[in-house]
Amino acid sequence: MELDYKALGFWLQFIQVAATGLVFLYVWITNRQKVNAVAIEKMREQFSAEVNEIDDRLIRVEQDIKHLPTHEDVSDLRTSIGTTNQNLTELRGTINQINNTVSLMHSYLLNGGTR
């Protein structure tokens, strides 16, 4: 049996080209996976930072809301303002009576003690 060196050389080159192609394909796929993994990790970090920022803002808003008056507080304020308004109305009536009394005393004294 005689060896055909040209055919053997052809098949060796073919195997070499095929192996090189497979290595190239493997490297290309693994590099794409690495790039995807890095991009996903970046997105996770950005997402985590945004979620932390939103969480901090929400905590600040909740703290601010705790200090706002409730409906009961506003109702109590309205009641207090109404009571104060009634008291001022009574004081206005009392002051008007005092003013009338002082006016009568003034006119009495101006007329020399006689009516």
Convert the pLDDT of each residue in 87-107 to its tens digit: 999 999 999 999 999 999 999
Q: Write out the two tokens for 73.
A: 């507080």
- The answer to whether the beta carbons of residues 115 and 108 sit under 8 Å apart is yes
pLDDT tens figures, 31-50: 999 999 999 999 999 999 99
What whole-number percentage of the chain has pLDDT above 90? 79
* Cα separation, 50 vs 42, whole angstroms: 12
Average pLDDT over residues 62-83: 93
Alpha-carbon dihedral angle through residues 30, 33, 39, 43, given to the nearest 10 degrees: -150
pTM attached to this predicted model: 0.46
Please provide residue 67's backbone torsions phi and psi, each rounded to the nearest 5 degrees. -90, -5
The two three-digit tokens of residue 102, written as one number: 């002082």
Residue found under tokens 């705790």: 66
Q: With bands split at pLDDT 50, 70 and 90, how would you rate the model's confidence at 79?
A: very high
**For residue 85, what pLDDT is reported?**
96
Amino acid sitting at position 86: Q
